[in-house]
Structure 1
Amino acid sequence: GGSMQFLMHGANFLKHRGGYLNTGIWSDKAMKAASYYGEVYEVASSKADHFSYIPKEDTFMVKPDTDYIYMTSNNTVHGTQWQTFPHVDVPLFCDMSSDFLSRPVAVTNFDFIYAGVQKNVGPAGVVVGIIKDSLLKHVREGLPDMLSYRTFADHDSTYNTPPVFCIYFVNRVAHWLEEQGGLTAIEARNAKKAALLYDCIDGSDGFYRGHATKDSRSVMNVTFNLPTPELEAKFVAEATARDLIGIKGHRSLGGCRASIYNAVTEEACQALADFMNEFKKKQ
């Protein structure tokens, strides 16, 4: 799964030091897992501000002999997302698990992309990996076969028996995406869905407070708080009664979170926005 990549990217490519753009708990976990193989450090981080923003490129501090820079494109827990991707002079790795195929991406700007498919593309148990042939030449020697990316590249991803049904499901979703008009159309659809909720938050006179700064807001995960924890609990309970489920925020952050991945409809987002407006008026 995706979490295995936290270890594998370091096992394969961490030889001197690895740099991390630490924007949430998943990049934090990846950095800690990779440290098993060598030195890791933060190129930039928003941890001190509760991961509420995406760092600007002019704040990056890249050390000499950095093997790669690792980033997470979308941060599910804190509701932040890279609006544009950085340009760096060392190999760029990206965990795109939570916004993969939600928008067009210039794949060639990255040296390694991986994505657990369970948010947008299929059932849990499949990871898509996209890696440059030139990077594969630098895989660490002497790794166990199942930890080496070269093994899977050399065996057409069938070194061991793959999860066939999950892969079939990914194929069907890829066809569905084409039927919707491709990634450009999906991007526009997702932006419209997110705008329904962010407009509700911004127009609430502070009753709803977004966790992420406006220039870092995620189109996949809308995170927000109400004035008190008691009101948040009431909000979640009443939303659930309306079949608006899964609104409670991640246990590490609290508050509320609407995860509006590709499969979530515009009508569902409108229903949530309508409920948010009604709930505010009743308090």
Structure 2
Amino acid sequence: MEWANDGKSKGGVLAHLERLEIQVNRSHKNLEDPQRAQAVEHALRIKIHKLRRLRDELRSEVKRRQARVRASIANEEPDQTQEIGEQEVAERRQENVKAILQAYRFTGLSGKLTSRGVCVCISTAFEGNLLDSYFIDLVLQKPLWIHHHSIPIFIPLEEISAKYLQTNIQRFLFCLCEYLNAYAGRKYQADRLQSDFAAYLARPLQRNPLCNLLSFTYKVELRGQLFLFCARLLYKDLTTTLPTDVTITYPETDALPPSWEEQRASHENLFFTKPLHQAFTSFARKGEKLDVTQV
């Protein structure tokens, strides 16, 4: 019985100790769980606080960016509208220039489109003779401007551009054609006088680069008498090939006979109404002899 009691008591003690240990462990576990839960809850609260703070910061950043976007759109819309408007204007100008070049391709005005705009070629002519050609490279932007050109420096390109380039491209090109063709015509007449009638000149022809002021002395023989006439032709209108002022004088001190005064006046009228080389041809047709002897 004692052994049994001892075993029983041992078993009971051990079981009790085991139960106590389990209870202690459970108690410790129960004590640890609230602490762990509290620690986890504290950590979660900190994390939630950080997340809420980050959320608020993100909301503020979103609002700031939205405000910047709205301000940017408000500022860019007029620019985009202006850019679209400028592009439309450039396209319309390009189409206008193309139409002008196509409509007047037989008048010496031609051209081709470039990456910047259009390059216009102006071919000059006089009395059916093709003369020099010039080009002008236009940039079809706002404002319209000239990139390159071969227009002679004495042609008033700046003045023509200031008047018509921004307001009437067709008028600008036509006005430039008038100046260039008139210059080419005056130069052609002066060249013909020097080449075809050089022997009739008592002194070399004098002319300025624009060929709007010509001075020369020529010899005329009529009824066996030889006279020298000094001619001065002024072209005030730079878009014409006929002079606006003609002065013919007799360099000798003796007065001209009445018949020669009539010839002098007749020559002035011819220079007013005919190109220079045609006027000299008319002298011969009227029976006047242009003397080719050296004076």
What's the TM-score, normalizing by structure 1? 0.24
Decide which structure has greater helix share.
Answer: 2
Higher relative contact order (CA 8 A, sep 6+): 1
Which protein is bigger by CA-based radius of gyration? 2
Tell me the TM-score normalised to structure 2 length: 0.24
